[in-house]
Amino acid sequence: MNTQRNKINKELDQLAREIQALFQGRGYQYAPISRFEEYDLYVENKNFLASEHIISFMDMDGKLLALKPDITISIAKNLPATPLTAQQRLCYRDEVYRFSRENREYKVVEQIGVELMGQLDSFCNVEIVDLALDSLALISEDFILDLSHNGFAHQLLKSTGLSRRLEQEVLSAIYNKSTHELEEALATAALSQENQEDIVTLATLSSELLSTLPKVKGLIKNSTMEKYYTELRDIADALENSPHKNRVRLDFSAMGDLDYYNGIVLLGYVKESPTQILAGGRYDKLLERMEKTGGALGFAISLSQLSLSKPRPAFDFDVLALYPSDVNPAALLKALKTLYADNLRVRPEPDTSQLSTLDFTYKDIYYFNETTQTLEPQKGGEKSC
Amino acid sequence: MLNIALPTGRLGGQVYQVFKSIDYSCDDFTKDNRKLVLENKEKNFRFFLVKPADVAIYVEHGVADIGVAGKDILLETNPDVYELADLQVGKCKISVAAPKGFQNGAIAPLKVATKYVNIAKEYYASKGREIEVIQLSGSIELAPILGLSDVIVDIVETGTTLRENNLEVTADIMPISARLLANKASYKFKAKQIQEIVDAIQQSQLDQQKGVSQKQGGTP
């Protein structure tokens, strides 16, 4: 029985290079990011981190440094304090060091992503959504991009006058798609029937962007929500001719942290991975916190998550190449090179090795023929763990 | 093929009845065997039978598309999954219990034995009470009897075990029941089949409520 999902078939590095090329083709430049940051940077911006657990250490001058748990904060920090005169389009491929809630240990997570910062206009949302879709299309033939809008959702909840505690309960229910928990929370709130129905509508929206927009329009309460709705509509209009337009779903369970995201939020899924592999959105509040002007949009793709979704090869090596201990080294190397040229993964071993003790698996055994000076296959050499 | 993780044990039996009521059944489930994977090829799904505390892990990792776990497990482990429905079975509550006559002094940290460390910490933090948590994995009721802890935080269903050990509930923390979970990515790609199950369960619950109220009202 095989319960495994389909696997990412492309070599991960090749995939990363294709995504990098896509980013650069859209005008994104590589952002220089150091591996360490001053620990204080994260203390000051801990609300923007997924976890407060950070690996820190003292450098030779007594300065407390940290292995970076986040790339966006570093990029935002490096922006000039003076107002940006042009939009900054930056991309990166880098590692972050994050605490895993599940295993209660630190993990190295490799990410590739883009950040678009500065005076953002209505094209920027469209550009980032389109880039996210094209990135996902490079990874898998079957993908979904969940789109939501933190600003719109926050304005709707604010307009109903929910208490802070109830707002948290409602947000948690929306995030978990728990209609039963939502009903429980709303039952204790003194809201009008219309307000309750609006919140339930927001929570249960989950369909293709174009077909869902009329329902979103019906929730508009004020000019700010009208503006946010226009942002969503602009995205829908721009994707009208996109081959991926049916892969964008408006789903407010994809809301990000309200303290972080203030506009659109993106979560990307591919069929081969059990968890989201792309996350991003608009996060002006981070720049505001750093006293820098302008807006910020971006997303990151977890290459580490993709690597978990890659197929494990059936064998460690394609060929176990056995050679006599008195072999002519030059002749053996030449014979091995013919196998390397065929893209075979080859493990050379002296033929004195006890095959039963080898701690790896191989598909075929090849023997070095001293007469022909070539490696020749012997059928039936398969060994599996 | 939709993969469904069901909890083993008594809760599993109750949860199976919920699925059976919406026509998701496997004949092998009720047979006395040790099969852990039960398949219904006609309806294109399979049940995995796993330890209740592990259901959410199977779902979060996407090995199971959906599954059923107690709310206590979800609150304690906080898995990154959707919680789509309250199945209204396995109902009980998480409570604080102490030896009869226990006086809760306010100065010294309260020693709390529990397997629900996070729930206990959050509850007492909300009360502003300093505690020392003693994590146990079973027979929690023994801890205050032997002086290991002052109180326990544990699941209480009928209260019989507490009474038989001279303990009593001093506070209820929250009600608990079985919840239907879904892997987030599975929900995106198998939305139709998963949502049909959710809708059928909710319809079945509505039908049951109607049946109960009709009986109570004396209407046929």
> What's the token pair of residue B112?
């709390």
The whole-angstrom separation of Cα A179 and Cα A175 is 10
The overall average pLDDT reported for chain B is: 91
Q: Is B170 exposed, middle or buried (0-12, 13-18, 19+ CB in 10 A)?
A: middle
**What amino acid occupies position A252?**
F
This model's pTM is above 0.90: no
| Best of A100, A146, A178 to mutate (most B CBs within 10 Å, chain B) | A178
Residue in B closest to A278 by C-alpha? B185
Is residue A319 within 8 A of residue A293, CB to CB? The reply is: no
Which residues from B are below 8 Å from A180, CB to CB? 85-86
Q: What is the pLDDT of residue B220?
A: 44
Q: Could you say which of B62, B86, B191 has the minimum Cβ distance to residue A274?
A: B62
Q: What is the pLDDT of residue A383?
A: 52
Cβ distance of B185 and A176 shorter than 8 Å: no
Chain B touched by A179 (CB under 8 Å) = yes
Chain A touched by B145 (CB under 8 Å) = no
Looking at residue A295, what DSSP letter applies? E
pLDDT above 90 for B81: yes
Is residue B62 within 8 A of residue A5, CB to CB? The reply is: yes
User: What are the pLDDT digits (tens) for B159-173?
Assistant: 888 999 999 999 999
The whole-angstrom separation of Cα A292 and Cα A299 is 20
Which residues from A are below 8 Å from B188, CB to CB? 144, 146, 249, 269
The 3-state DSSP class for residue A316 equals coil
Q: What is the pLDDT of residue A61?
A: 86
ipTM for this model: 0.85
Which residues from B are below 8 Å from A141, CB to CB? none
Cβ distance of B82 and A178 shorter than 8 Å: yes
Residue in A closest to B183 by C-alpha? A274
Which of these ranges, A32-36, A177-181, B116-120, B181-185, has the smallest mean pLDDT? Answer: A32-36
The whole-angstrom separation of Cα A21 and Cα A16 is 9
Chain A touched by B62 (CB under 8 Å) = yes
Which residues from A are below 8 Å from B192, CB to CB? none
Residue in A closest to B184 by C-alpha? A275
Q: Using CA of residue A101, residue A103, residue A107, residue A110, what is the dihedral sign? A: negative
Strands A278-282 and A264-270: antiparallel
Chain A touched by B189 (CB under 8 Å) = yes
Chain B touched by A85 (CB under 8 Å) = no
Chain B touched by A104 (CB under 8 Å) = no
Give DSSP secondary structure letters for chain B: -EEEEEE-HHHHHHHHHHHHHTT---HHHHSS---SEEEETTTTEEEEEE-GGGHHHHHHTTSSSEEEEEHHHHHHH--SSEEEEE---S-EEEEEEEETT----SSSPEEEEES-HHHHHHHHHHTT--EEEEE-SS-TTHHHHTTS-SEEEEEESSSHHHHHTTEEEEEEEEEE-EEEEE-HHHHHHSHHHHHHHHHHHHHHHHHHHHHHHHHHHT--
Query: How many Cβ atoms from other residues are within 10 Å of residue A254's Cβ?
Result: 26
Q: What is the pLDDT of residue A314?
A: 80
Cβ distance of B191 and A206 shorter than 8 Å: yes
Percent pLDDT > 90 in chain B is 73
Cβ distance of B84 and A274 shorter than 8 Å: no
Chain B touched by A2 (CB under 8 Å) = no
Distance from CA of A193 to the nearest CA of B (A): 21
Chain A touched by B86 (CB under 8 Å) = yes
Backbone angles phi, psi at A287, to 5 degrees: -65, -40
Q: How confident is the model at residue B4 (pLDDT cuts 50, 70, 90)?
A: very high
Distance from CA of A185 to the nearest CA of B (A): 14
Q: Could you say which of A1, A178, A179 has the minimum Cβ distance to residue B37?
A: A1
Percent pLDDT > 70 in chain B is 96
Q: How confident is the model at residue B92 (pLDDT cuts 50, 70, 90)?
A: very high
Write down the residue that tokens 């495994």 correspond to: A4
Three-state secondary structure of B192-204 = HHHHHHHHHHHHH
Chain A touched by B3 (CB under 8 Å) = yes
Strands A248-251 and A143-149: parallel
Q: In what order do the strands lie in the sheet with B131-135?
A: B131-135, B110-114, B151-156, B92-99, B167-176
Q: What is the pLDDT of residue A4?
A: 46
Task: Give buried/exposed letters for B124-156 (b at 16+ CB in 10 A, else e).
Answer: beeeeeebebbebeeebbebbeeeebbbbbbbb
Per-residue model confidence as pLDDT tens for chain A (385 residues): 444 455 565 678 889 999 999 999 999 999 888 888 888 888 888 777 777 788 888 888 888 988 888 888 888 888 887 777 788 999 999 998 888 877 788 888 899 999 999 999 999 999 999 999 999 999 999 999 999 999 999 999 999 988 888 999 999 999 999 999 999 999 988 889 999 999 999 999 999 998 999 999 999 999 999 999 999 999 999 999 999 999 999 999 998 777 788 999 999 999 989 999 999 999 998 888 888 888 999 999 999 888 776 666 788 899 999 999 899 999 999 999 999 998 899 999 998 878 788 888 999 999 999 899 999 998 554 554 4
| Best of A1, A2, A3, A267 to mutate (most B CBs within 10 Å, chain B) | A3
Which residues from A are below 8 Å from B84, CB to CB? 177-179
> What's the token pair of residue B156?
């209480």
Inter-helix orientation angle A193-204/A150-160, to 10°: 160
- Provide the Cα torsion B49, B51, B53, B56; round to 10°: -20
